[in-house]
């Protein structure tokens, strides 16, 4: 038994040939060794500089707990220091608790207490609500992990090595061909693979269009009112000027489009957030407006696959493929983390959008594209969507059971999608009071007021309840919390 702890040299310099020693300690480490302190006897300035650099790297988090440091020999060679200087610095920081010398593992960064989370009220440390009924997300716990792994393995086994190189900014041909087949079959989209551009989600597609439609000037883009504020900001930050496009019980109003509009962004299948379906008369009027003015209609088909009480409403693009830009995404069917979306473009926009995509990020990640193409080609994607459709319909029915009309809470937009708009009773609490009560129950809901272009006291209020976000196990508890909030129970 030894009566002292091993030194850093004894731990990170085992008795083995130089080649093995170098292999065992071959980690790279960037340190700022500028000597701001005067050198003292025995080279104290160099040691102090090394200690300071290491200490700062640990404190800042750049060297995480458990990170292995280079051997004293290796670091001395690379930093141009004496090995004894490095050893002394390691030993000092070990004594201070920044480093740990482990038998057989060399010198590593010591575990340190995690920082306290920030207080509630916003920012990175804000805790997630216990019950999340905000709209906009699917149940990510239902992601088809096994099917995705099979699709990835199958796709990578068959793909040529060139697939790992830079590619067509429009996306992998395998996915564009699969999307053309699927969108035509399932959504009524007239899609030639040559007219499809794969994007990193809907937001990128909208941003690319905002930059392209102006042709160097600021395009005027009409967006539904109410609508998603984040999407309006995406257009503004990419050079567009946003004007409101009023909606009513029949959807967007083409008659309210002002002159000079370059594009109208609409959600025909399931207006967000009111949930209405664009009336056939409005659909025809909107495409006629695009033909007459030379503008384009941008169709956001964000949840078109999820229709519950009748056959899905076909895409508007199928009625005017040369005047409608179709935008779809896997964010609601699979998960936002995949960052996979697609655009089906009129012929005159393909080249400009592909060029903008090239200078935006060159192309979307190829491996995910290949996996999705395989998932669609084997119809595993269809099976997953059908299973989700049944799951979300059950959730919608459970929500409606909690909102009996006699209580004054009326749900709209319930024929499709992953959310419902809940009107509040005229003689009950207003939207702000309900949201404050929800916060007390750690329940997150959407607010209709937040979605108007210009909020005003006379604007309708309501709650946007997303029933897709919680897990299967968490949804009943979220509904119970909603019931307590709406009905004032314990």
pLDDT digits (tens, 9 = 90+) for 141-157: 999 999 999 999 999 99
Say yes or no to pLDDT of 16 above 50: no
Give the residues across from 252 on adjacent strands.
247
Mean pLDDT of 478-488: 91
374 touches 385 (CB < 8 A):
no
- Label the pairing between strands 443-444 and 131-132: parallel
Tokens of 483: 């019931």
Tokens of 302: 């964000």
pLDDT digits (tens, 9 = 90+) for 187-202: 999 999 999 999 999 9
Closest-CA residue to 486 (of 465, 472, 470): 465
Mean pLDDT of all residues belonging to the chain: 87
Closest-CA residue to 475 (of 406, 410, 418): 418
Say yes or no to pLDDT of 339 above 70: yes
Where does the pLDDT of residue 427 fall: very low under 50, low under 70, confident under 90, or very high at 90 and above? confident
At residue 327, φ and ψ (nearest 5 deg) are: -120, 125
pLDDT digits (tens, 9 = 90+) for 134-144: 999 999 999 99
Closest-CA residue to 396 (of 377, 418, 378): 418
% the chain with pLDDT above 70: 87
Where does the pLDDT of residue 27 fall: very low under 50, low under 70, confident under 90, or very high at 90 and above? low
Q: How far apart are CA 31 and CA 38, in angstroms?
A: 19
The secondary structure element, H or E, covering residue 96 is helix 83-96
Tokens of 105: 């593992």
* CATH 3.90.1150.10 residue window(s) in the chain: 131-139+386-487
Instruction: Tally the C-alpha atoms within 13 A of residue 314's C-alpha that lie toward its C-beta.
Output: 13
Q: How far apart are CA 253 and CA 188, in angstroms?
A: 23
At residue 412, φ and ψ (nearest 5 deg) are: -120, 160
SS3 percent helix, strand, coil of the chain, rounded to 5, is 45, 15, 45
Say yes or no to pLDDT of 107 above 50: yes
DSSP strands (E only) in 226-312? 241-248, 251-252, 263-266, 296-300
* CATH 3.40.640.10 residue window(s) in the chain: 143-382
Of the candidate CATH numbers 3.40.1160.10, 3.30.70.940, 3.90.1150.10, 3.40.50.300, the domain formed by 131-139+386-487 belongs to 3.90.1150.10
Q: Which single residue is written with the structure tokens 């009071």? A: 433
Mean pLDDT of 236-248: 96
What is the topology classification, in CATH, of domain 143-382?
A: 3.40.640
* CATH 1.10.10.10 residue window(s) in the chain: 8-109
pLDDT digits (tens, 9 = 90+) for 253-299: 999 999 999 999 999 999 999 999 999 999 999 999 999 999 999 99
Say yes or no to pLDDT of 1 above 60: no
449 touches 461 (CB < 8 A):
yes
Q: Show the CA angle centred on residue 208, arms to residues 203 and 210, nearest 5°.
A: 95
For 244, the 3-state DSSP assignment is: strand
What is the topology classification, in CATH, of domain 8-109?
A: Arc Repressor Mutant, subunit A (1.10.10)
For 249, the 3-state DSSP assignment is: coil
Say yes or no to pLDDT of 10 above 70: no
Tokens of 413: 């937009």
152 touches 338 (CB < 8 A):
no
Other CB atoms within 10 A of residue 216 CB: 7
Mean pLDDT of 18-26: 37
């Amino acid at each position: 038994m030894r009566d002292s702890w091993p030194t850093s040299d004894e731990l990170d310099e085992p008795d083995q040939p130089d080649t093995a020693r170098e292999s065992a300690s071959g980690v790279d480490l960037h340190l700022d060794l500028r000597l701001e302190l005067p050198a003292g006897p025995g080279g104290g300035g160099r040691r102090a500089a090394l200690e300071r650099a290491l200490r700062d790297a640990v404190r800042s988090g750049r060297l995480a707990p458990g990170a292995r440091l280079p051997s004293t020999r290796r670091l001395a060679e690379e930093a141009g220091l004496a090995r004894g200087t490095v050893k002394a610095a390691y030993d000092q920081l070990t004594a201070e608790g920044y480093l740990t010398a482990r038998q057989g593992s060399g010198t590593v960064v010591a575990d340190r207490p995690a920082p306290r989370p920030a207080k509630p009220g916003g920012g990175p440390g804000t805790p997630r609500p216990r019950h999340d009924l905000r709209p906009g997300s699917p149940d990510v716990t239902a992601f088809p992990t096994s099917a995705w792994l099979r699709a990835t393995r199958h796709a990578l086994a068959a793909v040529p090595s060139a697939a790992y190189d830079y590619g067509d900014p429009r996306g992998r041909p395998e996915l564009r061909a699969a999307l053309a087949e699927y969108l035509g079959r399932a959504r009524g989209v007239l899609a030639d693979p040559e007219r499809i551009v794969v994007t990193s989600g809907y937001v990128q597609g909208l941003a690319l269009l905002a930059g392209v439609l102006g042709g160097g000037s600021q395009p005027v883009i009409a967006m539904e009112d109410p609508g998603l504020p984040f999407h309006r900001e995406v257009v503004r930050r990419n050079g567009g000027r946003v004007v409101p496009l009023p909606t009513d019980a029949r959807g967007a109003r083409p008659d309210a489009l002002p002159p000079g509009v370059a594009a109208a962004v609409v959600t025909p299948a399931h207006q967000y957030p009111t949930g209405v379906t664009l009336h056939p008369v409005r659909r025809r009027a909107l495409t006629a407006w695009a033909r007459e003015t030379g503008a384009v209609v941008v169709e956001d088909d964000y949840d078109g696959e999820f229709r519950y009480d009748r056959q899905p409403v076909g895409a508007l693009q199928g009625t005017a493929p040369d005047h409608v830009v179709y935008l779809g995404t896997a964010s609601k069917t699979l998960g936002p983390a995949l960052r996979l979306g697609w655009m089906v473009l009129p012929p005159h926009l393909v080249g400009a959008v592909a060029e903008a995509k090239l200078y935006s990020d060159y192309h979307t990640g190829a491996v995910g594209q290949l996996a999705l193409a395989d998932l669609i080609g084997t119809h595993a994607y269809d099976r997953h969507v059908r299973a989700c459709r049944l799951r979300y319909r059950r959730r919608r029915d459970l929500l409606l059971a909690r909102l009996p009309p006699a209580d004054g809470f009326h749900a709209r937009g319930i024929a499709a999608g992953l959310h419902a708009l809940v009107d509040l009773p005229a003689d009950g609490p207003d939207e702000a009071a309900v949201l404050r009560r929800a916060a007390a129950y750690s329940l997150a809901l959407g607010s209709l007021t937040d979605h108007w272009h210009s909020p005003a006291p006379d604007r309708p209020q309501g709650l946007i309840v997303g029933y897709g976000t919680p897990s299967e196990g968490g949804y009943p508890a979220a509904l119970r919390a909603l019931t307590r909030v709406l009905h004032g129970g314990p």
